[in-house]
Amino acid sequence: MKVVKNKYKCVICKQENEYLDYMSFYSRGHADFDGKPVNSMAGIGAAIMECPNCHYANYKIDEAIENRFYKNPDLWNLSDFQNIIKNYPDPLRKILLVALQYEHNLDHIRAYKTYILASWVADEKEASEFRRKALSIFINKVLPGRNDDYLQIADMLRQEKEFDIAKCFTTAVQELTDRDHEKQLEAINAEENFIINQDSTRHNLGEIFKKE
Ligand SMILES: [Zn+2]
């Protein structure tokens, strides 16, 4: 992991602090079927900066995701942000703060992907809440044209025991995948077997790609 220290001024409270800038991440080994990187919990959300003074959070702390904060930084005190600040520990807190801003901004793709990050760092009970949130945004707002993500979505639906809908997604992604993408097809078949067996536990892609 390449990291450099830089000073940035918080866009909300204008306090200047030193932050770590993550230039790149390295993750060894296979990810889980839902995309969660293996053994790299510390890396998830690490690139999000959070102001120690007002708890504003963003990948770029000196920029606002929502334009309205430029005109009126007091809006950061709104209860939905403050509830997250009060109720969640880091790194879940800063991930949720960013997710909510994307949601307000109607940036559905970034919002659902950020809730998936939240499901990876949350404990199992909360993970389900954030997976469902991500799934709801994906299915209601994003669905058309995001075929690449269907396997990840199928896996999250399976973890939520929504086996019938999960099967629709694996069938769709099977039809959309080129026959010569063997690894992808292998992963889809494995996912389909988990679904048929009504297995809602987390699985790692290493289980099917052991030989490498
Ligand atoms: Zn601040």
| Chain segment 58-85, per-residue pLDDT in tens | 999 999 999 888 888 888 887 899 999 9
If asked whether residues 102 and 43 sit together in one domain, one would say yes
R_g of the chain, CA atoms, integer Å: 19
If asked whether residues 12 and 89 sit together in one domain, one would say yes
Calpha distance 122→116 (Å, rounded): 10
Residue 39 scores a pLDDT above 70: no
How many domains is the chain built from?
2
pTM metric for this prediction: 0.87
If asked whether residues 95 and 153 sit together in one domain, one would say no
| Chain segment 135-146, per-residue pLDDT in tens | 999 999 987 777
User: Ligand 1 centre from 53 Cα, in Å?
Assistant: 5
- Crossing angle, helix 182-196 and helix 150-159, to 10 degrees? 20
Domain assignment present for residue 125? The answer is no
Which domain covers residue 159, as residue numbers?
Answer: 147-212
Q: How much is the average pLDDT of 110-122?
A: 95
Domain assignment present for residue 141? The answer is no
Domain assignment present for residue 45? The answer is yes
Min mean pLDDT across 20-34, 50-64, 111-125, 192-206 is at 20-34
If asked whether residues 15 and 95 sit together in one domain, one would say yes
User: Ligand 1 centre from 108 Cα, in Å?
Assistant: 25
Domain assignment present for residue 26? The answer is yes
According to the model, what pLDDT value does residue 61 have?
94
Domain assignment present for residue 87? The answer is yes
If asked whether residues 93 and 154 sit together in one domain, one would say no
User: Ligand 1 centre from 86 Cα, in Å?
Assistant: 15
User: Ligand 1 centre from 55 Cα, in Å?
Assistant: 6
According to the model, what pLDDT value does residue 192 have?
97
According to the model, what pLDDT value does residue 4 have?
84
Domain assignment present for residue 112? The answer is no
Please indicate whether residue 170 or residue 79 has the higher confidence score (pLDDT): 170
Q: For the chain, give the mean pLDDT.
A: 90
Domain assignment present for residue 133? The answer is no
Query: How many C-beta neighbours within 10 Å does residue 200 have?
Result: 16
Residue identified by tokens 């099967």 is: 167
Could you give the C-alpha distances from 106 to 35, 77, 139, in angstroms and in order?
A: 23, 20, 14
Residue identified by tokens 């490498």 is: 212
User: Ligand 1 centre from 183 Cα, in Å?
Assistant: 45
User: Ligand 1 centre from 129 Cα, in Å?
Assistant: 28
Domain assignment present for residue 134? The answer is no
Q: How much is the average pLDDT of 151-174?
A: 96
Last residue of a domain, one of 106, 132, 162: 106
Residue 34 scores a pLDDT above 70: yes
If asked whether residues 179 and 90 sit together in one domain, one would say no
According to the model, what pLDDT value does residue 41 have?
59
According to the model, what pLDDT value does residue 27 have?
65
| Chain segment 158-169, per-residue pLDDT in tens | 999 999 999 999
